[in-house]
Structure 1
């Protein structure tokens, strides 16, 4: 009996001293710096500290993220605001669980059209009849490029746009498959450093804005079934955003690792601004812009789409 009591006591002590298994969460983002806070939270052990086991996956096109959430291939993804709103408008029951990157002066300057050498494009009207690669139809850059064209008196239908993932942009410029790409982040530096393209219009900076670029989203079903995991994720992202604001080198290291880019190219890229908190005003800005472009069929209430932080 003494041996049994000792075994039971020892087993209880072992159970009490063994930490609970971290909850597994798969997070999907494209090869850009916009999900930098999740990258940092993985590399710096912030997710682990909050009891989460997060695995990040690169997604080729931003428009692939909502279907991946719906099919349970991902628990959380980083869609652009426009992709998220179009998915919700189309009937997908998604919610925003945390903020990621927002538009600001530096990234607005860095989101540009890169023109293939030998092609001249200086204004919106010069894009008429040209073939332009965009990183996902309905994605942030695509919508803002349309906004630029329309402000310049050009119907976007007059431009031949094709979906082109960030990693493939240097190749499609080099081979002449497109006349230009609408891009941002380290991809721009890769093209410029290769000597096959040059800077064209800074189409976002010309019009400005401070709305969210991307945020972290999940299905409503998953978020409601996992409120503790959502709260821990929000706390970790807020901590990573604070670290990113104070240490640029941490951002560079994590972005370079996830995107498989040279750190010097990431360093030469305008820094992203990360804000963990989401507001209905930011989503409202996108709703108005997309409605003007005829990209939404119904009425979307931003107040029902944000999971509040604890």
Structure 2
């Protein structure tokens, strides 16, 4: 009986191996200058093995990053959840699989004005310019929520001009009065505050409290063809997020600097010295339905998507996240 089972066991093992070997073991992605992404940290910590990353360039735009993933130029991309919803509404076959950034009292996006600015409220922004890194993402959505809560009508909201400014130039544009409000986060925010002469009009956490704001997405096709690689990617990134949530700031910063030095991209690593927290609200980046529903409701109210066009449950999955406890 045992002898008869051996060929069958061998056949099943061989089939399983052959099936697994058809999955991609290399993930193309876009990075960020002078910064370390969670997938990069996961790879450095050994959490992605045997999957490897292939860097194809950098981006400063979440919508562009997930568009690249949707069109197959990269294998994954990350963006603000509202941008993910809009891409899904446009029939892009993508699924959010893990949260990777957010806002808390240490890591947030602030909307800053000069100390002498007369701008004190939402209504004061009518006819003014707000500089941000990209349109259709986190900064624009939070701004419009602030304006709406401030009592502005849709017509008045349209009178607040959003201006795209490269992040490294945003502070300078504010100080030179080319814009009236600058959206700043991370090292750019902290350095600007160190130089003084600016004050926050409001912060995203003032509106929503601590919250995860953006997710990494994969295409439905990629997930279907590479279920094991998908699980390894999400698991690795989840463990990397949890690693930053359970290690000291000094340990995280030191690791980030090592990673930047090893990848030889001729970058300035000083910016990671300002890292304070991941901003991700849930352990391991588990996605909460409200993190999508909030922006679905906002996009419906603003007329950018039709009521019921996108359902939160269809936009994301926690099925591959080991910290989700089986939740979807």
1:294 aligns with 2:275: no
Cross-structure match for 1:219: 219
TM-score normalized by the length of structure 1 = 0.79
**1:17: which partner in 2?**
none
Instruction: Decide which moves more: 253-262 or 115-124.
Output: 253-262
Aligned-pair distance for 1:207? 1.8
Query: 1:5-44 alignment to 2 at 5 Å?
Result: 23-28=25-30, 36-44=37-45
2:206 match: secondary structure? coil
For residues 51 and 104 of structure 1, what CA distance do their matches in structure 2 show?
Answer: 33
CA distance in 1, matches of 2:24, 2:252: 24
Partner of 1:229: 229
CA distance in 1, matches of 2:303, 2:255: 37
Shift of 1:194: 4.6
Aligned structure 1 segments of 4 or more residues deviating by more than 6 angstroms: 256-259
**Pair 78,250 (structure 1): closer, same or farther in 2 beyond 3 Å:** farther
Cα offsets for 1:265-304 (capped at 9, x unmatched): 514x565236422233321222123322333235102222
2:320 equivalent to 1:309: yes
Alignment of 1:93-104 (within 5 A): 93-104=93-104
- Structure 2: gaps (5+ residues): 1-20, 261-266, 322-328
Superposed displacement of residue 113, structure 1: 0.9
What stretches of structure 1 of length at least 5 have no aligned partner?
Answer: 1-19
Cα deviations by residue, 1:148-200 (Å, 9 ceiling, x for unpaired): 111112332121111233233234335443222123222212333455x5122
Question: For residues 205-255 of structure 1, what are the alpha-carbon distances to aligned partners after superposition, in whole Å with 9 as ceiling and x for unaligned?
Answer: 332244431111022122222111110001101211221012223433466
1:207 alignment partner, SS class: helix
Shift in alpha-carbon separation, 1:254–1:147, aligned structure 2, 3 A:
farther
Equivalences, count:
284
TM superposition shift of 1:137 = 1.6
For residues 263-274 of structure 1, the aligned pairs below 5 Å read: 263=271, 266-267=274-275, 269=276, 272-273=279-280
Tell me which residue corresponds to 1:115: 113
1:15 aligns to what?
A: none
Residue in 1 that maps onto 2:14: none
Aligned match of 1:281: 290
Structure 1 residues 203 and 262: CA distance shift in structure 2, 3 A: same
> Paired residue for 1:127?
125
Task: Give the match for residue 270 of structure 2.
Answer: 262
Distance in structure 2 (CA, Å) of the matches to 1:60 and 1:44: 25
Aligned residue for 2:11?
none
Instruction: Return the alpha-carbon distance in structure 2 between the equivalents of residues 283 and 225 of structure 1.
Output: 26
Cα distance change, pair 254–162 in 1 and its aligned pair in 2 (3 A): farther
Conservation of the 8 A alpha-carbon contact between 2:131 and 2:170: yes
1:192 aligns with 193
* Residue in structure 2 matched with residue 70 of structure 1 by the alignment: 70
